[in-house]
Amino acid sequence: MAKHDIGFAAVARLAGVSNATVSNTLNRPEIVAPATRERVLAAIEELDFVPNRAAATLRQGTNRLIGLVIPDIANPFYSAIARGVTEAAAEHGYTVALCVSHDDPHLELRHFEMLAEHRAAGALVAPLTADASRLAQLRRVGSRLVLMDRTAPEGTGCSVAIDDVHGGELAVAHLLASPAPASDRSIVLVNGDLAIPQCADRREGARNAFIAAGLDPDDLREVTVDEMTVDSGRIAGRRIAAETPRPTGVFCTNDQLALGVIRGLNDGGLAVPDEVSVVGYGDLALAADGRVPLTTVEQPKDELGRVAVEILLAELGADRAAHEHVTRTLEPHLVVRESAPLPA
């Protein structure tokens, strides 16, 4: 990279010091006499010297590199996390290695091997499937891991997650709060596979909202879709429009689904929000700009990424043995838009 590869030796010679002093000016400037420091810095400038991190990594056994392992960078949920991660990492002088797993265990493992070869300081992982054995496999690599958007089982490691139970509760409480008495309301939950922890949590929150309102959670009507996409949402929306009693509110566990449901409801002759309110989840960019701006639960994705970095760095600082695993939970917020306005 640097033209003619210059090392500490050349800088030291030009500055008239030893290379230990060059190292110190770079890594612990405070212990170097100001005058010496100036001379070294001048020599560095003069020679266009670029320190070689590979050498430092080799010597120290660890690299200021963090792996970010996610299923898909084009998915806005993950790319928002990635933004938080890159910002926080840059602030701390760490480089981020972007590893996209496409949720392929083989690929994911290869990424971990690469990170290990680079002697990465650790990795932030957002696994799509909860497969415990895979996570165990990951930890086996020995690297420090922080799980994102998933809670690590009992002291197996650090993690940051979003409180989806609370998010589900916010959504349904809002649907229940509208003018008519709660008992007259009929709410439908459109959800994905309950094996996905997020789906199960959001449902639990929805049921909690019923309980808090003095209703029987089993009165929550549920529709399950195979894929959490606009298209399946639309099909679900049509079906819901045809059912009786006509629902007063629909909570979809993601925004794509909600967008589809609104269309499906419209297809079936129901107006949103005039006849039915719809709440989504996730607050994707498309939420605000759909045919009806979506009321949705906003997840602090940026913060999730930032916090993951901070937890990892804290873990690195701690004594290997002394370290207590940390689990942080972030709170989502309701963003009220037209698809489910505030009660009048």
Partner DNA sequence: TTGAAAGCGCTAACAG
Partner DNA sequence: CTGTTAGCGCTTTCAA
Angstrom distance (rounded) from CA 40 to CA 46: 10
Contact (Cβ atoms closer than 8 angstroms) between residue 108 and residue 123: no
- Among 127, 63, 61, smallest CA distance to 89 is for 63
Residue 167 interaction partner, one of DNA, a second copy, none, beta carbon < 5-8 Å per kind: none
| Residue 269 one-letter amino acid | G
Query: Please, what is the minimum distance in Å from the beta carbon of residue 181 to a second copy?
Result: 33
Query: Please, what is the minimum distance in Å from the beta carbon of residue 330 to a second copy?
Result: 17
| Residue 303 one-letter amino acid | E
Angstrom distance (rounded) from CA 159 to CA 330: 11
| Identity of the residue, 107 or 182, whose beta carbon is nearer to a second copy in the bound complex | 107
Query: Please, what is the minimum distance in Å from the beta carbon of residue 15 to DNA?
Result: 8
Residue 285 interaction partner, one of DNA, a second copy, none, beta carbon < 5-8 Å per kind: a second copy
Assess 337 for contact with a second copy (CB under 8 A). Answer: no
Residue 24 interaction partner, one of a second copy, DNA, none, beta carbon < 5-8 Å per kind: DNA
Angstrom distance (rounded) from CA 239 to CA 236: 5
| Identity of the residue, 56 or 182, whose beta carbon is nearer to DNA in the bound complex | 56
Residue 32 interaction partner, one of a second copy, DNA, none, beta carbon < 5-8 Å per kind: DNA
Angstrom distance (rounded) from CA 40 to CA 96: 29
Angstrom distance (rounded) from CA 340 to CA 296: 9
Angstrom distance (rounded) from CA 235 to CA 252: 13
Assess 73 for contact with a second copy (CB under 8 A). Answer: yes
Paired strand residues for 159: 147, 327
Query: Please, what is the minimum distance in Å from the beta carbon of residue 208 to a second copy?
Result: 30
Contact (Cβ atoms closer than 8 angstroms) between residue 190 and residue 281: no
Binding letters toward a second copy, positions 234-273, x by CB under 8 A: ----------------------x--xx-------------
Contact (Cβ atoms closer than 8 angstroms) between residue 295 and residue 277: yes
Query: Please, what is the minimum distance in Å from the beta carbon of residue 290 to a second copy?
Result: 6
Residue 36 interaction partner, one of DNA, a second copy, none, beta carbon < 5-8 Å per kind: DNA
| Identity of the residue, 18 or 183, whose beta carbon is nearer to DNA in the bound complex | 18
For residue 247, the 8-state DSSP code is P
Q: Judge residue 60's burial from the number of C-beta atoms within 10 Å of its C-beta, 0-12 exposed, 13-18 middle, 19 or more buried.
A: exposed
| Identity of the residue, 39 or 207, whose beta carbon is nearer to DNA in the bound complex | 39
Distance linking the first and last C-alpha atoms of the chain: 64
| Identity of the residue, 4 or 154, whose beta carbon is nearer to a second copy in the bound complex | 4
- Which of 53, 132, 219, 271 is the binder for a second copy (CB under 8 A)? 53
Assess 68 for contact with a second copy (CB under 8 A). Answer: yes
Q: How many residues bind a second copy (CB under 8 A)?
A: 59
- Which of 41, 109, 118, 336 is the binder for a second copy (CB under 8 A)? 118
DSSP code string of 111-131: HHHHHHHTTEEEEEE--SS--
46 alpha-carbon distance from chain centroid: 43
| Identity of the residue, 56 or 128, whose beta carbon is nearer to DNA in the bound complex | 56
Assess 82 for contact with a second copy (CB under 8 A). Answer: yes
Query: Please, what is the minimum distance in Å from the beta carbon of residue 301 to a second copy?
Result: 9
State the residue for tokens 């210059």.
6
Query: Please, what is the minimum distance in Å from the beta carbon of residue 56 to a second copy?
Result: 8
Query: Please, what is the minimum distance in Å from the beta carbon of residue 59 to DNA?
Result: 4
Angstrom distance (rounded) from CA 38 to CA 175: 65
| Identity of the residue, 62 or 224, whose beta carbon is nearer to DNA in the bound complex | 62
Q: What residues make contact with DNA under the rule CB under 7 A? A: 5, 7-9, 16-24, 26-27, 31-33, 35-37, 51-52, 55-56, 58-61
Angstrom distance (rounded) from CA 299 to CA 297: 6
State the residue for tokens 């020679």.
47
